[in-house]
Amino acid sequence: RYWRPLEKFEDNEAALCIIPSGVVWRQYLKLMWRIIDQESSLQWILLESAAELLDWRNSTPCIMTEAGEYIKEASALQERNKMKQLVEEHPKNVSPLCDLSIREEGFDEWQVLNYPDMTVENRSKHALFRAGRLVGRGGASNIVLLVDNNENHENENDDLRVVCMDEFLSLFGERYPCAGMEELLALKSACEATYRRRNAPKVADDVENAEMTEEQVQQGLRSGTLARGRLEVTKANPKEAYVTSGKERYFVNLESDNFARALHHDMVVVKPLSESQWGRPVGRRRLVYNRTEEDEETEVESEGPVVPSAMLVSVMDNSRRQFVATMVDKPTGDERAILVVPFDIRIPKIRLQSRQWPAYVNQRLLVEIDGWEVGSSYPAGHLVKIIGPIGDLETEIDCLLYEHEIQLKPFSAKALACLPPKGSEWTISNSEIKQRRDLRSSHRIFSVDPPGCQDIDDTLHARALPNGDVEVGVHIADVTHFVKHESALDKEAQARGTTFYLVDRRFDMLPSLLSSDLCSLHGKTDRLAVSVIWVFSANLETIKSCWYGQTVIHNCQAMTYEQAHNILNDKAPDNPSLPPPPPLTAGSPVDPSLIGPLKEDLRILQRLTRKLRKDRETIGGAVDLSSGDLGTELKFSLDENGNPTKVMPKKELEIHNTIAEMMILANQSVAEKIYDTFPESSLLRIHRKVNDDQFDELESALKAGGIAFDGSSNMALAESLEKAKRTAKGNNVVNALWQSLATRAMSEALYISTGLKEEGVGLSHYGLGIDKYTHFTSPIRRYADVVVHKQLLAALAIDKLDAAVKQQTTSDLRLHLEQVPDSSVISILKGDGISGIKRPSEKTSLEVDGGFLDSLIEGASELVLGDSGSDQVANLNSEPQSKVISSAKELAPYTGSQVGRICDGLNRQNRMAKLSSLECQRLFLSLYFNDHFEVAHAVVTGLRANGLILYVPKFDLKGPLYLSDIKGDVQIDPSFVGLSPDAGFPSTLGFTNSPNCRRFPSGRCILKESNDGDSLEVMVSEGQKKCVFRALDVVSVQISCDLSDIRARVPLPRFHLVSSNMQIVGTTSVTTTVQPRNVTSKMIRGDEKETKVQSQISGVSTRNFRVNSMYEQLVSIEIIPVLSDKSLQRHASSVRLELSVDSAMPGRMVFGGFQNPDTRYATQEAAITSASEAATQRREAALASQQRRDQYDSSRAIERYATARMQRLAAQKRSARRAKGK
């Protein structure tokens, strides 16, 4: 073998090049990462042979135990991903080398030593030295091979420097004396200890409680002695969890479990325990106190019943993600180790190693868990980023998005380039109008939406026909006209999946040019739509026909729900005392000449939807989950700084049900249409039957009210809820509880691909009582609707082509469709726009390429809509006709598997959007109740040994009401137990906000169980009476929130008892008392004066800072719409300030002039220009790089020639000298 001699390591001033072995990578990855972060002059090489060795050690017993047995080596958590991340984050310092794949020209020891026949372990050792010689071939003397102490390299006769980690750190310290050697040595020891613990044989005193090996786990699962399921940690007590496996549900005590290193939502394996070992869940019996986040509380032994329990034995699949956390206390002892408290109370504290911890004070952190070592109380992790200061509203909302894994980047330049070049000046072309059915002059079309709505998806019409029949229609924005199939904008909309609505902002699925302007069906404006029009018999009993197609419509009046409600009830539609809304939003004053005709149209729709709703409930078994006046959707009024000043529940009117019922009808009709055409790839929305155990809470509440529960079917559930309403006798507070419990018990509705549905799973919608259902009516804010629009248009095109396919060949059909307009989205790979492209065809089917499908979908109206006399009519009462076209699958916009993948993403995004909206609502409730006391009615839903579980319908809040503190002292208003106001002792922390509350050390809370119903008795020894609570009691509570300590997380509002056992009958609304609080909010929301944030961490000084919220910054930006009429511009400017103060916030609203800054037209043009310039720069950089590579190749060729020539000359001289010697 050949190698060049190297100079001494210590004397070399060139940059070091370190090549670690595979074992070193596994054992010291964190240490090497720290060194790379500290010293950028070092060069590191990751060998392919090292990665191969790691894989081999994962699967092959290679570590000998003290007993002489060999075991497999355990890798660190996410080891390969971290190595990949290291290469990506440090591309200039860490270089992967595929040493097993490259060969050296001429002599290469690969063939001489026969590397392929070596064992993986032996090959890795030889490959390490081979890589050192390859890298140092140019004469470099700075190559260092880094090996483990246990690796034997004595047989290598090389001059390459081979060192272990101790020697390397010593040499590294000499070369870089300011590198923090003490910290590196400590980290080295920690890495070695972690490696030893991870690979130590599992030994336990009690074999039954030992962590099982993978083989034992698999054997136990096969034999049925073990069970598998998701670990669901409870919020009521984070030390308790449940695992559901099949029909069995097991209780897991995380505090006493010997193997409790699993996190919430991990897939785990449990071992069911015998009945004598069953546990008693504390969270079901007592309210758990969370006094401060750093305190670990030890609960008293519960007296509750035992439940089936299990013990964790293995984690099969972890759901580790990044967590928002906060450092609540400075480190003690080892000043590098700190504990951070996650936002999610179900996640344990996370241990971080960092000397930079002072920078984390009063900051929200994003951390990631690396692993959880055996014997450690906390998982170990690392910092990903610092999000922002505690208490800043923008930081808290960012935390909310991080917690729900929502990453919404601005629209890319490619996506914005798909928008119409004319921007807001775009108009409908005459050619487009000719291809559609024009309803502008023949139909009176209107919309009904929330106040200030900008993204108007749907409009309606209703009229009586001359023959007595009734025609109604739903007209939906034609988004697919602007969002071309598989375009960059289409792909980004699919990735977003939905529009995310928060209290004070929204994140649009589409750029605002489309969502708020061109696609939105604004009043007094011509727009493109996809329509569904039904003809009903005069008595509304029969649907005679249903028409689908693309249309051009004119929205004569964009009304709000309140305006439509007033018209129906013969009231003035508008309030003259309120300022008019901005242009292009719902709620503009109703034209007096339209009030009468609109009332007639609304009456028709009202009469029809009442019948449709009744049919769904009586025939389909639909479950009514509306909450009437006590709706759970909240409206927040914000001041100019974004602070909530008023909170009101959304009042539900009949007009809401009228519009919703029409949308349900449209979705149902479209679902049937696309399923008939594409039974293997339709996108439908299903709602599965609810499991019986999900109704436990509802069943218990109904039982407490003496009501029999039956959840065997949706119809039985609806009857049980209706019976409960009758029993409540007008008590709306209790009625709201039934609706809330039923809603929470419902399983989540899901999008599915009909060709991929699970066996035994139907296509019906349990809650709505409908056989087939989809989402068609909101394409501006839901991508599922965009997919359904594409499928509907393709289905209509197939219907029109059925007859043509029978008579025409593929070439004839292409010739016949030459006038169909080409898609503006050209796929070169598919041959779009390229003449002479030939594709294989079959005699029995119609072969249609992707480009033709794009044209077909875009121009479907030209094929389906000729004139009004050629309208396609489908009789909904007849059986679906079989399709004669054999290529329907080829004409489908998506395959079944593609729809399945889209549905998976949409289900996740919808779930995250819903959760983030609810969490944001709770955040603003905490802000509101920090500045206000409010008294409201609540209903008792659960009894605990130290308090109550309450539900407040007005704010859709459910939470605990504590009646005793952690020491067991009763804290209550003395009047409840017949004592004077000054009896007892002053209340302690946590009860100080409760009005007239006093502490009674002699008091007791006794939870009594009986056949007549459980009760909670509160008494004190000196009291004259006792206070008794039962399930379904209505009480009055004061709601407040103390934001004085928001270190770990923003606290939820807290309840304080004001009065008990109230009788509320026949009320239609809840009377509340609101009192402003003279306290300083700890949330920073851009006040005029700077707000001091007191440091909660000892040893850290208090600092003053002021952070303006995003809301304040956006409100300060003047956004002037592009209008031709200057008077309208002045009008928009005059009302902007007023609307920014009192506009209702949730849903599709105008947020004080808020717009996504990345989607305005000016930004669009700038992004397109920037993208063009960037593309030019990339091309120039590519050319320059190619030139450098050519020069390098040329230089290498010259170098190789010169080296070979020198070797030949040296050989000739040696031969000449030997000849002379002879």
The highest-confidence range among 170-184, 466-480, 708-722, 887-901, by mean pLDDT, is 466-480
Length of the chain: 1222
The string of pLDDT tens digits covering residues 640-649 is 888 899 998 8
The set of residues, in sequence order, having a beta carbon less than 8 Å from that of 614 and lying 6+ positions away, is none
For residue 8, list its beta bridge partners. Answer: none
- Tell me the C-alpha distance between 994 and 1057, whole Å: 7
Element (H, E) at 423: none
Burial 695-717 (b: 16+ CB within 10 A, else e): bebbbebbebbebebebeebbeb
Please state whether beta strands 526-536 and 380-389 pair in parallel, antiparallel, or not at all (unpaired): unpaired
- The upper half-sphere exposure of residue 180, i.e. CA atoms within 13 Å in the direction of its Cβ, equals 15
The string of pLDDT tens digits covering residues 821-836 is 444 433 333 334 333 3
- Candidates 342, 392, 349, 345; CA nearest to 365 is 342
- The upper half-sphere exposure of residue 1163, i.e. CA atoms within 13 Å in the direction of its Cβ, equals 15
The string of pLDDT tens digits covering residues 993-1041 is 777 898 887 788 888 888 777 889 998 877 778 899 988 888 999 998 8
Q: Side chain identity at 638, as an amino acid letter? A: L
Query: Taking a C-beta distance cutoff of 8 angstroms, is the pair 702, 724 a contact?
Result: yes
Asked whether the CA dihedral 547, 549, 551, 557 is positive or negative, the reply is positive
What letter would DSSP give residue 74? P
Q: Name the token pair of 281.
A: 């869940």
In the numeric block, the tokens 């220009």 are attached to: 1169
Query: Taking a C-beta distance cutoff of 8 angstroms, is the pair 542, 561 a contact?
Result: no
Asked whether the CA dihedral 519, 520, 526, 531 is positive or negative, the reply is positive
Query: Taking a C-beta distance cutoff of 8 angstroms, is the pair 299, 286 a contact?
Result: yes
Which of 277-286, 522-531, 628-637, 979-988 has the lowest average pLDDT?
628-637
Helices (H), 808-895: 810-816, 850-858, 860-864, 888-891
Please state whether beta strands 526-536 and 470-477 pair in parallel, antiparallel, or not at all (unpaired): antiparallel
The string of pLDDT tens digits covering residues 659-682 is 999 999 999 999 999 999 999 999
The string of pLDDT tens digits covering residues 800-823 is 887 565 555 444 544 444 444 444
- Candidates 973, 979, 941, 939; CA nearest to 1056 is 973
Higher per-residue pLDDT: 318 or 1168? 318
- Tell me the C-alpha distance between 1005 and 1026, whole Å: 10
Q: Side chain identity at 626, as an amino acid letter? A: S
Whether 571 shows a pLDDT value over 90: the answer reads yes
Q: What pLDDT is stored for residue 1222 in this prediction?
A: 60
The string of pLDDT tens digits covering residues 910-967 is 999 999 999 999 999 999 998 888 899 998 988 988 899 999 988 888 899 999 887 6
The string of pLDDT tens digits covering residues 82-109 is 888 788 878 888 888 888 888 777 667 7
Element (H, E) at 83: helix 79-89
**DSSP per-residue letters across 560-611:** EHHHHHHHHTTS-SS-TTSPPPPTTSTTPPPPHHHHHHHHHHHHHHHHHHHH
- Tell me the C-alpha distance between 684 and 667, whole Å: 10
Q: How many CB atoms lie within 10 A of CB 1079?
A: 12
Q: In what order do the strands lie in the sheet with 240-245?
A: 248-253, 240-245, 227-233, 267-272, 310-317
Q: What is the dihedral of CA 982, 987, 992, 997, to 10 degrees?
A: -40
Q: Side chain identity at 385, as an amino acid letter? A: K
Burial 498-525 (b: 16+ CB within 10 A, else e): bbbbbbbbbbbbbbbbbbbbbbbbbbee
**DSSP per-residue letters across 446-459:** EEEESTT-----EE
* Alpha-carbon radius of gyration of the chain: 36
Helices (H), 932-1050: none
Whether 6 shows a pLDDT value over 50: the answer reads no
Q: Name the token pair of 1124.
A: 């031709």
Secondary structure, 3-state, 229-254: EEEEECCCCCCEEEEEECCEEEEEEC
Query: Taking a C-beta distance cutoff of 8 angstroms, is the pair 346, 264 a contact?
Result: yes
Q: What angle do CA 252, 341, 375 make, to 5 degrees?
A: 50
SS3 472: strand
- The upper half-sphere exposure of residue 1059, i.e. CA atoms within 13 Å in the direction of its Cβ, equals 8
The percent helix, strand, coil of the chain (3-state, each to 5) is: 35, 20, 45
Q: Side chain identity at 442, as an amino acid letter? A: S
Note the maximum CA span of the chain.
128
For 236, list phi and psi in degrees, rounded to 5.
Answer: -65, -35
- Model pTM? 0.66
C-alpha of 635 from chain center: 23
- Tell me the C-alpha distance between 623 and 682, whole Å: 25
- Tell me the C-alpha distance between 701 and 706, whole Å: 9
The string of pLDDT tens digits covering residues 146-159 is 888 776 655 455 56
The string of pLDDT tens digits covering residues 21-39 is 888 988 888 888 878 877 7
Q: Side chain identity at 974, as an amino acid letter? A: P
Q: What is the dihedral of CA 737, 738, 739, 741, to 10 degrees?
A: 80
Please state whether beta strands 947-952 and 932-944 pair in parallel, antiparallel, or not at all (unpaired): antiparallel
Q: List C-alpha distances in Å: 410 to 715, 972, 1173.
A: 46, 52, 19
Q: Name the token pair of 1071.
A: 């009377």
Element (H, E) at 1036: strand 1034-1040
Whether 712 shows a pLDDT value over 70: the answer reads no
Q: Name the token pair of 468.
A: 């007595």
Query: Taking a C-beta distance cutoff of 8 angstroms, is the pair 191, 50 a contact?
Result: no
Q: What pLDDT is stored for residue 33 in this prediction?
A: 82
Whether 114 shows a pLDDT value over 70: the answer reads yes
Query: Taking a C-beta distance cutoff of 8 angstroms, is the pair 269, 229 a contact?
Result: no
- Tell me the C-alpha distance between 734 and 425, whole Å: 53
pLDDT band at residue 216 under the 50/70/90 scheme: confident
C-alpha of 46 from chain center: 35
The set of residues, in sequence order, having a beta carbon less than 8 Å from that of 1193 and lying 6+ positions away, is none
- Candidates 322, 312, 321, 287; CA nearest to 231 is 312
Q: What pLDDT is stored for residue 181 in this prediction?
A: 78
Q: What pLDDT is stored for residue 1179 in this prediction?
A: 67
What integer is the mean pLDDT of 755-773?
Answer: 84
Judged on CB neighbours under 10 Å (0-12, 13-18, 19+), 1097 is middle
pLDDT band at residue 228 under the 50/70/90 scheme: very high
What integer is the mean pLDDT of 184-191?
Answer: 82
Q: Name the token pair of 78.
A: 């996410």
Which of 67-71, 864-868, 1189-1193 has the lowest average pLDDT?
864-868
